[in-house]
């Protein structure tokens, strides 16, 4: 069971290089608190020096007592005893001081990194976020930040102190005694560390396998319970139990292997230490016998060894945790290296506030190169006017809004606001000028008030209430027991589709921007509410540059221009009356919708 498989060691080089890079990228965050770091290091060295001096004093004590049998020389041992106590105490004192001083460094480094990653994630493109699973992202950040804490504490509280201690002990051994003692210590430590790292690398794979089997077993149990009814329909309880048991069997095998390998690791470590200690004691004993060394010396050497090997006991665990922490941090920093697809040009202008005209100039666009979404889209919305876009589902209407908002860059042509290419404007100023009521509204899991106020976080209560009224939300809110303070649930799921849409309208109105985009802003409303809100929207659009996207043609009749989009091309354009007169696609859609409306009894 304990034999290592041939695949034991992963190539150390690339791994080690990665680890160093990760550590290096972490350094600036810690080094920002230079004073504290240096102080903590001083405490660390002080504590270890005190710790190493304890056995030395102990040796002097023993030698002092041994050399003066019968004679009552009380002074020497008393001073030494005092020193002994002080040294022991200062070891603990300095260790605690170090923790007190350093705790803040760790926490603040974690805070700064978490914040930076969070900012960066918000700066990444919509494309990135659509492709990633949000749950996975937050887990990466959470694990990464937690690992920074453990990495710093393992390094600072375990590895570095042990290294300092090894250095001090070997130094003392070299200065005081024959070089053979330092050599034996060094050889034992090298053997111990190599063995531990090697076995731990192998065990990591074992542990991962055991964890995977564990997850698989619980996934099987959950899936089986989720299918409770199906299991009953087919009388398959025994079959399910058998399948679960099979999975548990595999997991137990892996667990046992894991346990055996741990014991193997411990036995091997103990053997190496025993060998080292025996060799040292052998050397010391022969020298005591020949009079080269005192009894105190042999006690000192023994104490050193024990002091060194105790921290080493945790080496396996610490090494494994350290590797895990480095992997997690690397993943998190990987997010930081994710490029921003949309970035401000270095000489980007801020769009001046005030009325804005919009021009799409022969715009061509595709989300992925294989499939074209828009071609040669060319239109203008003069400042203060309304242009409507209609067309079949998937024809590219919402894409127009996304491009104007600069969630994506156009591949051909240009989009201009007041004559400026949107690529030459700062994203912040461009987006501040645009209010969007999106096709699908997602709300924050907070109160109605919070969600409406989100349109302009510094807006007062009156402004929020006015916006709610304009969006026909006031009756609904008045009926709620908690009114504006009602919580809307995760993503707003406790509201109906129409209510969510009205919240979105309210917050866009509250933002009060010169440009408005309504993407099917009233599609989820019944015709009565839609009519009521339509008036409000038209009033809101007055004096603003507005792009309206709609399925229901009756809502866009008054637009100054209507574009009919088909497979990413404008196939017809004109006013409502003009398009009807043309008797083309628009006229067909209009007739169809009029018939439907006549057949359907008016919805309440």
Ligand X SMILES: Nc1ncnc2c1ncn2[C@@H]1O[C@H](COP(=O)(O)OP(=O)(O)OP(=O)(O)O)[C@@H](O)[C@H]1O
| 73/294 Cα distance (integer angstroms) | 19
- Binding of ligand X by 398 (CB under 6 A): yes
Q: Give ∠ CA 407-412-354 in degrees, rounded to 5.
A: 55
Choose one: 375-383, 420-428, 437-445, 531-539; the region binding Mg ion (CB under 5 A): 437-445
Q: Which of these, 320, 316, 406, 415, lies nearest to 363 by C-alpha position?
A: 415
Other Cβ atoms closer than 10 A to 219 = 11
Q: Which of these, 130, 592, 127, lies nearest to 390 by C-alpha position?
A: 592
Q: Which of residues 126-145 bind ligand X (CB under 6 A)?
A: 130
By beta-carbon proximity to ligand X, the closer residue of 150 and 439 is: 439
Token output for 369: 């190169």
- Binding of ligand X by 394 (CB under 6 A): yes
The distance of closest approach from Cβ of residue 35 to ligand X in the complex, given in angstroms and rounded to an integer, is 49
User: Which of residues 55, 396, 435, 438 is near ligand X by CB under 6 A?
Assistant: 396
User: Which of residues 90, 145, 196, 399 is near ligand X by CB under 6 A?
Assistant: 399
By beta-carbon proximity to ligand X, the closer residue of 396 and 498 is: 396
By beta-carbon proximity to ligand X, the closer residue of 206 and 373 is: 373
Phi-psi region of 602 (alpha: psi -120 to 50; beta: other; left: phi over 0): beta
By beta-carbon proximity to Mg ion, the closer residue of 439 and 536 is: 439
- Binding of ligand X by 512 (CB under 6 A): no
Burial class (CB in 10 A: 0-12, 13-18, 19+), 434: buried
Residues with Cβ < 8 Å from 530, sequence gap 6 or more? 522, 552, 555
Binding mask 436-475 for ligand X (x = CB under 6 A): ---x------------------------------------
The distance of closest approach from Cβ of residue 603 to ligand X in the complex, given in angstroms and rounded to an integer, is 21
Strand ranges for 399-480 from DSSP E: 412-417, 420-421, 434-437
| 350/486 Cα distance (integer angstroms) | 38
- Binding of Mg ion by 439 (CB under 5 A): yes
Choose one: 58-66, 140-148, 353-361, 394-402; the region binding ligand X (CB under 6 A): 394-402
Q: Which of residues 370-389 bind ligand X (CB under 6 A)?
A: 373
Q: Which does 130 bind (CB under 5 to 8 A by kind): Mg ion, ligand X, none?
A: ligand X
The distance of closest approach from Cβ of residue 127 to ligand X in the complex, given in angstroms and rounded to an integer, is 6
- Binding of ligand X by 395 (CB under 6 A): yes
Choose one: 88-96, 394-402, 557-565, 588-596; the region binding Mg ion (CB under 5 A): 394-402
- Binding of ligand X by 234 (CB under 6 A): no
Residues with Cβ < 8 Å from 228, sequence gap 6 or more? none
The distance of closest approach from Cβ of residue 436 to Mg ion in the complex, given in angstroms and rounded to an integer, is 12
User: Which of residues 290, 393, 577, 604 is near ligand X by CB under 6 A?
Assistant: 393
- Binding of ligand X by 397 (CB under 6 A): yes
Token output for 558: 């008054």
Question: 445: which strand partners?
Answer: none
- Binding of ligand X by 147 (CB under 6 A): no
- Binding of ligand X by 357 (CB under 6 A): no
Choose one: 32-40, 187-195, 273-281, 395-403; the region binding Mg ion (CB under 5 A): 395-403
Choose one: 230-238, 316-324, 396-404, 485-493; the region binding Mg ion (CB under 5 A): 396-404
Q: Which of these, 457, 455, 91, lies nearest to 473 by C-alpha position?
A: 455
> For the stretch 81-96, what's the b/e string if a residue is b when 16 or more beta carbons lie within 10 angstroms of its beta carbon?
eebbeebeebbeebbe
What is residue 379's three-state secondary structure?
Answer: strand
Closest CB to Mg ion belongs to which residue?
A: 398
The distance of closest approach from Cβ of residue 439 to Mg ion in the complex, given in angstroms and rounded to an integer, is 5
- Binding of ligand X by 550 (CB under 6 A): no
Q: Which of these, 407, 123, 495, lies nearest to 506 by C-alpha position?
A: 495
Token output for 193: 């560390």
Kind and range of the H or E run holding 303: helix 295-312
| 292/301 Cα distance (integer angstroms) | 14
For the chain, report the end-to-end CA distance as a whole number of angstroms: 75
Q: Which does 393 bind (CB under 5 to 8 A by kind): ligand X, Mg ion, none?
A: ligand X
Residue corresponding to tokens 């008030």: 449
- Binding of Mg ion by 445 (CB under 5 A): no
Choose one: 12-20, 33-41, 202-210, 392-400; the region binding ligand X (CB under 6 A): 392-400
By beta-carbon proximity to Mg ion, the closer residue of 51 and 501 is: 501
Kind and range of the H or E run holding 126: helix 126-131
Binding footprint of ligand X, residue count (CB under 6 A) = 12
By beta-carbon proximity to ligand X, the closer residue of 126 and 160 is: 126
Residues at the site binding Mg ion, with contacts judged by CB under 5 A: 398, 439
Residues of the shown chain interacting with ligand X in the complex, contacts defined by CB under 6 A:
130, 367-368, 373, 393-399, 439
């Amino acid at each position: 069971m304990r034999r290592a498989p041939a695949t034991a060691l992963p190539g150390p080089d690339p791994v080690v290089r990665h680890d160093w890079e990760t550590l290096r990228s972490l350094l600036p965050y810690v080094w920002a608190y230079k004073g504290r770091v240096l102080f903590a290091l001083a405490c660390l060295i002080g504590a270890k020096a005190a710790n190493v001096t304890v056995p030395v004093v102990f040796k002097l004590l023993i030698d002092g007592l041994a050399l003066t049998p019968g004679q009552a020389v009380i002074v020497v041992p008393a001073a030494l005893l005092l020193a002994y106590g002080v040294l022991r105490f200062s070891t603990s004192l300095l260790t605690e001081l170090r923790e007190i001083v350093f705790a803040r460094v760790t926490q603040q480094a974690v805070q700064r990194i978490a914040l930076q990653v969070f900012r960066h994630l918000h700066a990444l493109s919509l494309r990135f976020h659509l492709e990633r699973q949000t749950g996975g992202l937050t887990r990466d950040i959470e694990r990464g930040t937690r690992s920074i804490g453990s990495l710093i504490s393992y390094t600072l509280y375990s590895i570095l102190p042990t290294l300092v201690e090894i250095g001090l002990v070997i130094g003392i051994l070299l200065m005081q005694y024959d070089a053979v003692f330092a050599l034996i210590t060094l050889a034992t430590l090298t053997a111990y560390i190599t063995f531990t790292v090697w076995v731990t690398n192998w065990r990591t794979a074992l542990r991962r396998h055991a964890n995977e089997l564990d997850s698989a077993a619980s996934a099987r149990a959950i899936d089986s319970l989720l299918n409770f009814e199906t299991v009953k329909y087919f009388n398959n309880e025994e079959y399910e139990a058998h399948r679960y048991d099979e999975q548990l069997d595999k997991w137990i095998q892996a667990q046992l292997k894991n346990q055996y390998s741990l014991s193997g690791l411990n036995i091997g470590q103990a053997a190496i230490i025993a060998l080292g200690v025996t060799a040292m004691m052998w050397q010391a004993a022969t020298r005591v016998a020949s009079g080269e060394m005192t009894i105190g010396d042999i006690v000192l050497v023994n104490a050193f060894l024990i002091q060194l090997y105790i921290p080493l006991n945790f080496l396996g665990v610490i090494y494994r945790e350290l590797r895990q922490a480095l992997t997690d941090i690397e993943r998190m920093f990987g997010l930081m290296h994710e490029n921003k697809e949309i970035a401000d040009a270095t000489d980007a202008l801020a769009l001046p506030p005030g009325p804005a005209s919009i021009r799409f100039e022969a715009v061509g666009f595709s989300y992925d190169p294989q499939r074209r979404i828009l071609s040669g889209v060319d239109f203008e919305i003069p400042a203060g006017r309304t242009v409507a876009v209609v067309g079949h589902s998937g024809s590219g209407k919402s894409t127009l809004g996304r491009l104007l908002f600069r969630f994506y860059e156009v591949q051909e042509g240009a989009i201009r606001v007041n004559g400026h290419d949107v690529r030459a404007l700062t994203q912040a100023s461009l987006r501040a000028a645009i209010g969007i009521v999106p096709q699908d509204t997602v709300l924050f899991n907070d109160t109605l008030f919070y969600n409406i106020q989100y349109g302009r976080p510094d807006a007062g209560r009156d402004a929020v209430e006015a916006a709610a009224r304009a969006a026909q939300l006031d009756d609904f809110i008045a009926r709620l027991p908690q009114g504006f303070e009602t919580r809307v649930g995760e993503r707003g799921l406790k509201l109906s589709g129409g209510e969510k849409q009205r919240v979105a309208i309210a917050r866009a109105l509250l933002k009060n921007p010169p440009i408005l985009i309504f993407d099917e802003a009233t599609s989820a409303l019944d015709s009565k509410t839609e009519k009521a809100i339509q008036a409000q929207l038209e009033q809101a659009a007055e004096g603003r540059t507005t792009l309206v996207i709609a399925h229901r043609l009756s809502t866009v009749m008054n637009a100054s221009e209507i574009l009919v989009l088909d497979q990413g091309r404008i196939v017809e354009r004109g006013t409502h009356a003009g398009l009807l007169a043309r008797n083309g696609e628009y006229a067909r859609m209009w007739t169809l919708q009029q018939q439907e409306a006549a057949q359907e009894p008016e919805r309440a």
